[in-house]
Structure 1
Amino acid sequence: MSEPGFTELESLGDGNFGRVVLARQDRTGAVVAIKYLFDWFPLDDFRPEAARWQGLNSRFIVQLHEFIERAETAALVMEAVPGVSLERLIKENGALPPEAALTVFKDTLLGLADAHAAELVHRDVKASNVLVTDEGHVKLVDFGTAALAGETGTPAADIYAATCVFFECLTGHPPYEAEDPDALLHLHRYAPIPFGEVPEPLWTLLNWGMAKDPAYRPANAEQYADVLEKVATDTYGKKWERRGRELLTAAPAEPPPSGMLLKSGAAVLGLAVVAAGVVFVVTAEEDPPPAGPPQPLQQVLTVAVEPVSEREATFTIEGEVVRVTGYLDPVVGERVNQALRQPFDDHRENSRAVYADGKLAGKASTSKPRIVLETEELLSVRYDNDYGGERPYTQTTTIALKDGRPLGVREILAPEAFTATGLTQLSQRLDLDRICDDQPGFTREKPLGVSDFDDARPNTGSGVEIALAPDGVVFALHPEARPGRPACKPETVLLPYARMTDLLSPEVLKLLPDQRLVPPPPTTTTPPPKDEAFRFGPLNLRLPTRFSLQNQGLEKVVVDGTGCADPKRYFNCKYFLVTDNTQASEEQPKYEPGKPYVRSAAGRACNAAGRKDLKQEGAATLVESSTVKIGDQDATYEKWSVQCVEPGGAEAEAELTQRIWFVPSKNYVITDEWGVADLDAALAKAVWR
């Protein structure tokens, strides 16, 4: 079976919906791809999709030239494009450089914008349906087949899928992976966005495009592309897109250096055409699959809430328990679920004593859990318990999910929290004087004592319970009963992480989500945070809110807003620098231990001496050298006296003090030439991931 007027050149195989061939049109000599649809193909469902696709004229979408229907056959005549599928590109070369990934993402969004304007939703945006031409441009392929499977879609779903492809470009793998479709769907719906492998300046794009709620995603693909353009330009300069396309088209004859995308040897660039969801690439030869041991099974955890009702002799306890399934080690799974059920079991034991006198006969005891925090690393659950609506109290359970360890209060709080000073500080931050204010005659003694946090105490509604939330630590305070009267009702207080950094254990700090990506609650009764988190690759710093982060090429510039007219340009503003010393450029060289840091243009440092016209080219004297701690990592600290001179001159006209911290284990450098206040304290409390 062949279409009249076309000469078949080569068979490209069978797809899900038809046979695909490479052909030449006899009249014009143009090379096209033809998909001959199988006779069972649902043409009635496909015609509207095909009409919209054929009507599109976008350089970002593979052109459908003609949809032919005859008595004996139906066929799609499509553009044949020299190029390679993005899936193949990533498989052959791994993650793309950021400029190349941004280029692919921008073209993908512009293609979706054109399709959505024509009321055509792609429904199946994935790496195999993105074609990279041999000129470094992108074309979307395979519209309509998802609709044939009965699937629906929206522009917001296309945007989410395109952002996932962007993540795959940056990391070499999809954001979520699981063999079981239901488990994979759960990850997409509920799992946090795994930012860790992605350059920090691009987090905002992922956070927007992969928002779990479609209402919080970009309004349309064109708007998203505009924001992408600004982020890319601010981060990688005005020529980022040109560099991106150059990287996508690099295919040298000799073995390529690190960073080149297309391998030599096999003819990777070929003729790619569309065939029912597959981009076929005509190549001179195929590389064999990589050898090696089979990949280990992936552990995919699912959290669920299950109803429970148990009848005792004097009462009935009703409620729910939280369970986690998916652990490869059943012993670990049993330990986790026992810890998650423990608050329910404790409340049942407490209820036996409370209901023994018959005063609450007929009233059910209840235990209701609420998931306070669920990330890949942590699960924190709060159980609200009461006896027939009376005498409420709270219990909490927190689990380190990857190894299944329950985290008690001694693991969540740092040892310093249990000293006299720490307990006093915590009491002040919780403002214990407020407790029971609305119930005359009741008081809460302060400060807190160590016994209030005793994990081993039988929980009957006394002491303090702790849970971890997205934006802070939740304290459930249970005032102690006094002789002759019961305690007042418990109260819950949220302390933002910014006010708890010094009292939380380093292990928990490493497991917490990045706080800058967590929106603040709509209302709060707690004071505003006094500082916020800044993340530089593996380094987390907490600084007062007057600081802001600016990007200057490879350097991260942390600007002190005090007396600063324009923090974004930071002219004559105090600032310090954080630099990944594994990266360098001709303009921004690496730091060399034992030498002052001569940064870009060799003159910016002299701004701190009030002389923008001078260069950092005079004599330098080492004033101090020692080993200090930045968080839990050893750092070399050096203080230099640096002379600033006229360009080409030798006589010093100004002098500055340069402080340098170098962390060999992480290859990170912190530089301060302005004597920035609060920097030493922040470095001492730093957390490394």
Structure 2
Amino acid sequence: MSGWTLPGFTEVKALGEGGFGRVVLARQEGTGAEVAIKYLYAEHLADPRLVAAFRQEARVLSQVVSPYVARLHEFIETPDGAAIVMEAVPGVPLSAILTAEGELTPEAALVVLKGSLLGLSAAHAAGVVHRDYKPDNVLVRPDRQSKLVDFGIAVLAGETGLSVGTPGYMAPEQWAGNAATPSTDVYAATCVFFQCVTGHRPYEAADREALRNLHAHAPIPFGEVPEPLWRLVERGMAKDPAARPGTAAIFLSELESAAVAAYGPDWEDRGWTRLAQRAGALLAVSPLAMLAGATMLAPAGTGAGAVAGSGGVVAAGAGGGMLVKAGAILVGAALVGTGAVIVVNSTGEDPPPEAPPPAVEQVALTADVRTRTENFGTFDFNGQYVAISGLGDPAVQNRVNEALMAPVDDWIEYVREINPDPATDTPHLSTQAEIRRQDDKVLSVKYTRRIDSMQFGNRGGYSVRGVTLDLKTGDVLTTPEVFADAATSQSGATALEERLLARSPGGFCGGQTEHEPMGPHHLTQPYTAGDGDPAVQAVFAADAVEFDVYGSAFGGPMACDHQTVVVPYPDVADLMTAEAAALLGTGAAPPAEQRLDLGFFTLTVPQEWRLSNESSTGRLLARSADCVREGCPGVRIAYGSAVEHEPGRPCAPAGAPGQVTTGAERLKQELRPFGTKKAAYEEWRITCSGGADFVERSWTLPKTGMIFADDWNTPGLDQILERATWR
């Protein structure tokens, strides 16, 4: 050990060195928590470019929050040194596994690619391109998880720069120094996938220039992988970035469809069996073996009540040399996430067989809200879409996913055809996707689409589109097909209008009851902005039809915007076709409970609860379908972020509007059951400025980085968490 070290930490083991700095395993004094610390070499402190690059790595880590990415705990910069304190990950590099195995089974290679794409997807959602995806930067864990590490040369999507990266995995545009996009990472991930399956990189050459020419011009060697995987390699390694999947999330959807079609619904379990076993064997003989049994520590007994992974990036002033923390450290299963190569000695023999893991319930179908980001030169897109996986029929699943992507593709194509003027402004396109119904028969999604640009009107472009799918056939179920009489006759349209007005007595335009009568054309003909959606569309929830009505289509001013009219199924059942009524149901009570998949585990919650989309602050599990924003009654779910007790938060849970919190006192600290595992449970009394108070409860989960925080004394939450089903 040499040079400056971070106060409050004791170095345990050296883990690796490179041209930029060294990485050590360290233990925090007082808590005993093990972390990985990456120190910038002292000789680099005088180089502003290298210090800025080191700072940028920490900043990128703070933005990318995912269970599939090693997370940042702290960044410290003083006149004496700079350090990044990272999550420690119990895994070994994929490169070590490939050295030991030579090549992987197709299922195991697909498992590696899936985990990597999940990590890259989180980075892309944060607007970050990794640019150095390679086997050294994928850590495989014996507990069937993997993590992406080392964002040292990551950039924001769309940035240009030097052709940095690892040559064997660099995309053609990366060699040329052109803009880095998420598809640049898709190319590298596909190259690594090819290597996993075949035992060698897609292109090999003796010198750098020859290798560059191969990546830029040589045919894609997809024929060397099993035939069911040809299309994945061909798509992922396309020379033109526009011909590749635009994001890791899109490629992930294609991967899962191909994997199920080729290797069956249990492909992932088979792939992990050998992979996890080999990771365990290599970990046992690595410098990190001593920490393989580390467990989550209880939070330190400070008034701050902070927990792991605040993700803050803080630098001390140049003159003071004072260490400034970005958040107190509480580490779960502790091992390194550094990207350094771990040298191991392996006999090549398998370890003794272990007892099989306990059986877990398999959920056949999952629907996820994902993010897609693309830059088209004169405009850009950053929005949500829904994709499914686990459907028994791959052909049907492909049709469903194509239909779910169509609202995004159509929105982009609408702007492309208009050809916006870059001299005026750059239009920013976005979509919000809400899953309104998901069961074994039907998936119904509402897309809200926006364009931020004066070239599309004073308020920009705006459109709503509903997509409802029959999961048995993959067919799209349109509003005219469900309400066929209303779409073909005036009498049918009038009957439907009466049912809607009964639920919206103020009319379709904010109290203006006088309007143009509803006619069949309101359900069938294009009206709204964009690619022309009808003025009346239906989205189907579990117990009601949610009609989106564009008020200005009925003779009102443009200020009459979209309005949602919710009509229970019994009120419109007689207006539906028999086939649609049989598929959607016509009045049966909705299920009392629903299952929510949170990745590591599944929760069973009341039917009316809603889970919001991920944001920079996490997610909200709200107790009402009508309120899923921050501040609504419900449970906050954070990913590696501190449960905040700092003064100044609104005191809404105490029924004290206008008041803010002024202090916090810990009342309880213990372990409580969370499914078959234990969570670190705490209770805090939060005091408000006017004298009111409320109790906040929190559950910090081992290994996942997830924290459940309940400010509203949510009824039955204890029992819900105790019944969690882990994967």
**TM bucket, shorter chain:** 0.3 to 0.5
TM-score, length basis structure 2: 0.36
Higher strand share: 1
User: 1 or 2 for the larger relative contact order (CA 8 Å, sep ≥6)?
Assistant: 2
TM-score, length basis structure 1: 0.38
Pick the structure with greater CA Rg. Answer: 1
